[in-house]
Chains A and B, each alone.
Chain A
Amino acid sequence: MSGPWVEKYRPQKLEDIVGQKQIITRLEKYIGEGSMPNLMFTGPAGVGKTTTALALAKSILGEYWRNNFLELNASDARGIDTVRNDIKSFCRLKPVGAPFRIIFLDEVDNMTKDAQHALRREMEMYTKTASFILSCNYSSKIIDPIQSRCAIFRFAPIKGEEIKERLQFICESEGFEADDKGLETIVYFAEGDMRKALNVLQAAASEGEAITEESVYEVVSKAKPQDIANMINKALMGDFLGARTLLRETMVLQGTSGEDMVTQIYQEVSKRVVEGKMEPDFYIDLINSIADCDFRIREGANPRIQLEALLTKFI
Chain B
Amino acid sequence: MLWTDKYRPQTLDEVVGNNKEKKIILDWVDNWKKGNPQQPLLLVGPPGIGKTTLALVIAKEFSEYIELNASDKRSQDVIKNTIGESSSTRSLFGDEYKLIIMDEVDGIHGTNDRGGVRAIGEIIKNSKHPMILIANDFYSKRLQSIKPKCTVIKMAKVRSPSIRKALKEIAAKEEIKANPKALDLISKKSNGDMRSAINTLQALADKDEVLEPRDVENLRTKDDRSDIFNAITGVLKSKNPQHVRDALRVDEDPTLVMEYIAENIPREYTNKDEIKKAYENIAKADLYFGRAQSSRNYGYWRYASDFMGIGVSSSKKETYKKFTKIQTPTIFTLMGRNRGKRNLRDGIAEKMSKKMHISHSIAISMFPYLEIMFKNDELAWEISDFLELEDNEIKRFRSKKIPKKVINKMEKQKAQMRVEERDRRFEELQNQMMAEAQEVVEEEVKEEELPFEIPGIEDELPEEETVEEEVVDEEVKEEEKEEKPKKKTDKQVSLFSF
Binding site for B on A (CB under 8 A): 1-4, 6-7, 45, 50, 54, 63, 71, 73, 75-77, 106-107, 112-114, 195, 199-200, 202-203, 206-208, 219, 222-225, 238, 240-241, 244-245, 248-249, 252-257, 260, 293, 296, 299-302, 304-306, 308-309, 312-313, 315
Minimum Cβ distance to chain B for residue A257 (Å): 5
**Are the C-beta atoms of A203 and B372 separated by less than 8 Å?**
yes
Q: Which residues of B contact A255 (CB under 8 A)?
A: 342, 345, 349, 364, 367
Known pairs A75-B361, A106-B359, A309-B283; A302 contacts B289 (CB<8 A): yes
Q: Are B282 and A252 in contact (CB under 8 A)?
A: no
Contact of A206 among B255, B289, B372, B414 (CB under 8 A): B372
Asked if A199 contacts B366 (CB within 8 A), the reply is yes
- Are B359's CB and A75's CB within 8 A? yes
How far, in Å, is A136 (CB) from chain B's closest CB?
A: 11
Question: Across the interface, do A257 and B282 meet the contact criterion of CB distance under 8 Å?
Answer: no
Cross-chain pairs A/B with CB under 8 angstroms, 28 sampled: A1-B382, A1-B417, A2-B386, A6-B356, A50-B357, A106-B357, A107-B359, A113-B295, A206-B373, A219-B369, A222-B368, A222-B371, A240-B266, A240-B272, A248-B334, A252-B342, A255-B349, A256-B365, A293-B283, A296-B283, A296-B287, A300-B294, A301-B287, A302-B286, A306-B287, A308-B279, A313-B276, A315-B276
Contact of B266 among A106, A112, A244, A293 (CB under 8 A): A244
Q: Is B435 an interface residue (CB 8 A)?
A: no
B365: chain A residues within 8 A (beta carbon): 256-257, 260
Q: Closest residue to A240 on the B side, CB-wise?
A: B266
Complex contact A45–B294 (CB within 8 A): no
Q: Across the interface, do B334 and A238 meet the contact criterion of CB distance under 8 Å?
A: no
Measured in the bound complex, the distance between the Cα atoms of B375 and A302 in whole Å is: 35
Give the residues from 280 to 324 in chain B that come closer than 8 angstroms, CB to CB, to chain A. Answer: 280, 282-283, 286-287, 289-291, 293-296
Cα distance A309–B335 in the bound complex, in angstroms: 20
Q: Does residue B83 face the partner (Cβ distance < 8 Å to A)? A: no
Let me know if A4 and B361 touch, CB within 8 A.
no
Complex Cα distance, B358 from A107, in Å, reads 9
Instruction: Give the B interface residue count (CB, 8 A).
Output: 61
CB <8 Å contact, A4 and B386: yes
Most chain A CB within a 10 A radius of its CB, from B359, B364, B413: B359
Question: Roughly how many angstroms separate A255 CA and B338 CA in the complex, as a whole number?
Answer: 11
Measured CB to CB, the nearest residue on chain B to A301 is B290
Residues on B with C-beta less than 8 A from A1 are 382, 413-414, 417
Task: Verify B362–A45 contact, CB threshold 8 A.
Answer: yes
Which chain B residues lie closer than 8 Å to A224 at the CB level?
368
Residue on A with the closest CB to B361?
Answer: A257
B168 to chain A, nearest CB (A): 35
Within 8 A of A (CB), among B246-264: 255, 258-259, 262
Q: Which residues of B contact A200 (CB under 8 A)?
A: 369
- Report B-chain residues with C-beta under 8 Å of the C-beta of A293: 283
Assembled-state Cα–Cα distance A90/B258 (Å): 42
In the complex, whether B275 has a CB less than 8 A from a CB of chain A is yes
Do B338 and A252 have beta carbons less than 8 Å apart? Answer: yes
- Residues of chain B with a CB closer than 8 A to A300's CB: 290-291, 293-294
Q: State the CA gap A256–B372 with chains docked (Å).
A: 17
A222 to B417, CA, bound (A): 33
Which interface residue of A77, A206, A313 has the most chain B CB atoms within 10 A?
Answer: A206
In Å, the complex CA distance between A302 and B258 comes to: 11
Q: Is the CB of B331 within 8 A of A222?
A: no
Using Cβ atoms and an 8 Å threshold, which residues of chain A touch B152?
none
Contact B272 A315 (CB under 8 A): yes
| Docked CA distance A107–B417 (Å) | 36
B471–A3 touching, CB < 8 Å: no
Q: Which of B335, B357, B376 has the most A CB atoms < 10 Å from its CB?
A: B357
Q: Which residue of B lies closest to A307 (CB)?
A: B283
- Residues in A with CB closer than 8 Å to B338 are 252-253
Q: Is B353 positioned at the interface, with any CB of A under 8 Å from its CB?
A: yes
Which chain A residues border B375 with CB–CB below 8 Å?
Answer: 206-207
Q: How far is the CA of A71 from the CA of B359 in the complex (A)?
A: 11
Residues of B within 8 A of A7 (CB): 355-356, 386
